[in-house]
Chains A and B, each alone.
Chain A
Amino acid sequence: MSSTITAMLTPPVTRRDHSQGPPVAPITLVEYGDYECPYCHQAYFIVKELQEQLGDQLCFVFRNFPLTTVHPHAQHAAEAAEAAGRQHKFWEMHDTLYEHHEALSDKYLKAYATQVGLDLARLNQEMAAHGYAVRVREDFLSGVRSGVNGTPTFFINDVRHDGSYDLVSLLTAIEDAL
């Protein structure tokens, strides 16, 4: 049996995903991330810069990859972002979580939810029921099957980016993919 390790995004991006930028953009950048991961916090600002520089050329997609035993607040943070998505504020919550990646206990999650204007009663109810745990786990497993072994991991047009995720490396890889 072959020991090849797949490094292609599985499944590809669909309408189920959270995306920013035109779906028809020539570059689709997918990140598997964990809200409590300090490296993902670094990468958050890099992605912002990429979006600034590439504009409509870039479609950015975020999928969850919480390592829950290493990062005890990552799972709830991911569920909170998904719950915010149901209220059409996924990206507002996503950004807030990464800008406060060192304070993600439930108490803070509720404060951030209020800050971004979510219906808190609904959020509390859905969080308590772990309504989004399945969705987060689906993301996680899709990452595993795509060859994600840690966070952040990026895919450029479905191909895993194995280089560094600093701005220059990512821009170079994106140019190569065009």
Chain B
Amino acid sequence: MTTLALHVRRDGKNAEELKVISILRESLSGASAHSANVLTSPEPFRTAEERVKNDGDTQASACPRAALEVGTQAPDFTLQATPDQTVSLKDLRGAPVILAFYPADWSPVCGDQMALYNELLSEFERFNASLVGISVDGIWCHLAFSKDRKLHFPLLADFEPKGAVARNYEAYRQQDGICERALFVIDAEGTIRWSHVSPIGINPGANGILAALEAMTSKQEITA
């Protein structure tokens, strides 16, 4: 399914489409190395040489930058969650919040990452933490993606002005016009307590999030 989509896009002529292809290819290279649990058919194995080459490419063009620092107040935002609903960070104040910026709906790595988080919502709830995903995709795209993957947490559209929230969190890839694959754990007072920026093609998993939630929550507060 993914490969077919790429072939269709490869036929495109303009530079913007080619850039999308290059980002998706990076995502694919990361996906096949380590996180391959997607709905698509298996791709052929890559040789070790190909893997090193691809990972090298990823490093060269997608070297992660530092995001907004731990200890800083998380910038507030209000973004569309559905066509007629918005979510504001300040409304989530009083409990931990996990922000998962990601490059694009439908890309294989994102699908894996969001599918994994979907399986972990009950774990996040143990810490009373809410999770939101954020990308520059429009709300209708988010809805289709969310429905297809049966996601049970909101995807917010950082769509207009494009990437404005991601920029505030220093998690925007200006050259590509997409969000970094960046995670933030924000405490009940609205302070960033942990952040992590992955290489664009690498699914960061969830251990860092859970470790951060544990570190900022005393055991007594967890309802086991």
Contacts and interface: CB of A to CB of B under 8 A. Distances in A.
Interface residues of B, number: 43
A76 to B, nearest CB: 15
Nearest to B122: A137
A103 B18 CA distance: 38
Given A5-B196, A149-B35, A69 B115 contact: yes
Interface string B78-117: 0000000000000000000000000000000000110110
Contacts of A6: 207, 211
Interface residues on A, range: 35 or more
Given A69-B115, A169-B48, A1 B215 contact: yes
Interface string A80-118: 000000000000000000000000000000000000000
B208 interface: yes
B19 interface: no
A29 B32 CA distance: 20
Contacts of A150: 31, 34-38, 112, 116, 203
Interface centre among A1, A40, A165 (most CB of B within 10 A): A1
A34 interface: yes
Contact of A149 (B41, B46, B113, B215): B113
26 contacts: A1-B212, A4-B208, A5-B208, A6-B207, A38-B41, A41-B42, A42-B42, A69-B118, A69-B119, A69-B151, A70-B38, A140-B119, A144-B206, A145-B207, A145-B210, A149-B113, A149-B203, A149-B206, A153-B34, A164-B45, A164-B47, A164-B48, A166-B46, A166-B47, A168-B48, A172-B48
Interface of B: 31-39, 41-42, 45-48, 51, 70, 112-113, 115-116, 118-120, 123, 149-151, 193-197, 203-208, 210-212, 215
A-B pairs, 5 with minimum CB distance:
A150-B35, A149-B205, A166-B45, A3-B196, A39-B36
Interface of A: 1, 3-6, 34, 37-42, 67-71, 140-141, 144-153, 162-166, 168-169, 172
